[in-house]
Amino acid sequence: MDRLDNTIRPYAWGSTTAIPRLLGVEPTGEPQAEMWMGAHPGAPSRTPRGPLNEVIDKSPEQELGARTFARFGPRLPFLLKILAAGAPLSLQVHPDLEQAKEGFEDEERRGLPLDAPHRNYKDANHKPELICALTEFDGLCGFRVPDDAAELLAGLDVDSLKPYVDLLHAHPEEAALREVLTAVLTADPEEMAHTVAETAAACARLGGAYAPYADLAHHYPGDPGVIAAMLLNHVRLQPGEALFLGAGVPHAYLSGLGVEIMANSDNVLRCGLTPKHVDVPELLRIVRFEAGDPGVLRPEASPDGEEVYETPIDEFRLSRYVLPEDTTHDLTRPAPQILLCTAGTVRVGEHPLAPGESVFVPAGEPTVVFGGGTLFRATVVA
């Protein structure tokens, strides 16, 4: 197995303190948004044998195991991250596998460069993801019931929001959400900026349930995503709780530190809260206009102490062990694994791991862990 040296991405929304605090190092003063663990070519983990993507490329069946290689091909099918949101991320959705393949092939046929700012599909894969809170973690996930969204908007008593309130009351659920989101994203920019300013002032005045949207408007003044965000469920995760985000589900992370795992893709369609490209027609094709509870996940414990976050995805499986002092577990598995310590000290084979440290374990490699602390395990569904 290989100890990982991981890249920290300095995106502007990142916290300046959360990842340094986890790692026990001094902050640099710069935002530190995500620490990537895996073989994504954009920032592969470094190992004593070289970059992890190159290690796997040299002998994919040996590193990934025959079953993982046969099912997912010669690449590690998941990417693990520590995510530290100091400011809201963009409001976004991800395509399903068929939509990603169609979109990628279409943009390839049209000759759009992969780094073009107006390109939607960077690859032909879907991007389901799971976020597990390490601290209290705020986010937006999935649509509110239209009547609830209408009540939230109406409570602001902003005249320019009243047409949206009426639409939410007047149509069936899917049509109501589709019509309002479309209206918000296609509104005249100057008129929408005025609406957002009035909304922000009302949210700041009322506080309580409206406070998150005042904060959004502070970070993204005039952005239609502030209004779109009010159509979504606001979720506050406690440490150990998680959210699964499937295809077509609009979402945004607002604040907090968490462990995130996803299929190995970079396909994002943005709804707002961003200066980046928003392709409204393609977005509306991908979004699932389904309202309901966002479904907070809590891990299911097995007899050996493994706590599994169950999802309907085969490309990744996230679990954790909260290990008492001086306990030993055998984590050998016929599939690739990344093991990440987030608390205490855990020895994995010959590698002692402090918080924020991780190892890559090839398929079938004997894996014994010892110590007291919290260890996250990222792998594939066997």
C-alpha 344/C-alpha 366 separation (Å) is: 22
User: Closest Cα to residue 141, out of 217, 299, 248, 20?
Assistant: 248
User: Closest Cα to residue 341, out of 310, 371, 363, 380?
Assistant: 371
| Cβ proximity of 320 and 297 under 8 Å | no
C-alpha 361/C-alpha 81 separation (Å) is: 16
Catalytic residue among 144, 270, 317, 320: 270
Give the 3-state DSSP-derived string for the chain, with helices as H, strands as E and coil as C. Answer: CEECECEEECCCCEECCHHHHHHCCCCCCCCECEEEECCCCCCCCEECCEEHHHHHHHCHHHHHCHHHHHHHCCCCCEEEEEEEECCCCCEEECCCHHHHHHHHHHHHHCCCCCCCCCCCCCCCCCCCEEEEECCCEEEEEEECCHHHHHHHHHCCCCHHHHHHHHHHHHCCHHHHHHHHHHHHHHCCHHHHHHHHHHHHHHHHHHCHHHHHHHHHHHHCCCCCHHHHHCCEEEEEECCCCEEEECCCCCEEEEEEEEEEEEECCCCCEEEECCCCCCCHHHHHHHCCCCECCCCCECCEECCCCCEEECCCCCCCEEEEEEEEEEEEEECCCCCCEEEEEEEEEEEECCEEECCCCEEEECCCCCCEEEEEEEEEEEECCC
Whether 144 sits among the annotated catalytic residues: the reply is no
Q: Active-site residues: which are they?
A: 270
